[in-house]
Structures are given as structure tokens and as C-alpha cells.
């Protein structure tokens, strides 16, 4: 167990950040899954900018790596083009 006041605060803040990161990452993954399951091009076209925005936010906050974000966006764009 931590002995210093600052270490206790760091533990608390890390837990809060961890939960927020998990929530944001899970939300983005669900949105990606929803987009991949779509068969209608019109609906997918509407959802695509929202999903890309979520991915960019994750990459900006270093929740996912920038290259992973680029790969995800590229694969989703290819999926959208193939519909």
C-alpha cells in the first residue's frame, strides 16, 4: 500500500482514468462493430464520420496507437466502398 499522500492520489486518479479509457475504447469498438455489420450503404455512410471521429479521439489521447487508428479507418473505408 502507498505511504505518501501523493501516491494515494495517483492511485485514485489512475483508476478514474482507467475506467474512462475503458469506456471510450469499448464504445468505439461497438461503433466499429456496428458499422462492419451494416449492409445498407446509406446508413453506413452516415455512421462512418462518427466512427472515424471516435477513432481519432482515441488515438489523440493515446488510448490506441496512431497506426492502429489509421489501419482501422482504412479498413472501414474499404468496407464502405465495397458495399
3-class secondary structure for the chain?
A: CCCCHHHHHHHHHHHHHHHHHHHHHHHHHHHHHHHHHCCCHHHHHHHHHHHHHHHHHHHHCCCCCHHHHHHHHHHHHHHHHHC
The CATH architecture to which 5-82 belongs is: Up-down Bundle (1.20)
Report the alpha-carbon distance of residue 1 to residue 34 in Å, rounded.
Answer: 42
Residue 2: per-residue pLDDT = 82
pLDDT in tens, 36-75: 999 999 999 999 999 999 999 999 999 999 999 999 999 9
Residue 1: per-residue pLDDT = 76
For the cut 80, the answer to whether the pLDDT of residue 29 exceeds it is yes
Residue 3: per-residue pLDDT = 86
Residue 82: per-residue pLDDT = 93
Residue 7: per-residue pLDDT = 94
CB 51 within 8 A of CB 31: yes
Amino acid at each position: 500500500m502507498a505511504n505518501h499522500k501523493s501516491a494515494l492520489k495517483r492511485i485514485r486518479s489512475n483508476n478514474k482514468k482507467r475506467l474512462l479509457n475503458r469506456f471510450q475504447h469499448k464504445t468505439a469498438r461497438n461503433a466499429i462493430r456496428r458499422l462492419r455489420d451494416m449492409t445498407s450503404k446509406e446508413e453506413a455512410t452516415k455512421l462512418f464520420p462518427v466512427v472515424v471521429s471516435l477513432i481519432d479521439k482515441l488515438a489523440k489521447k493515446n488510448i490506441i496507437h496512431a497506426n492502429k487508428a489509421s489501419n482501422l479507418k482504412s479498413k472501414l473505408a474499404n468496407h464502405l466502398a465495397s458495399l
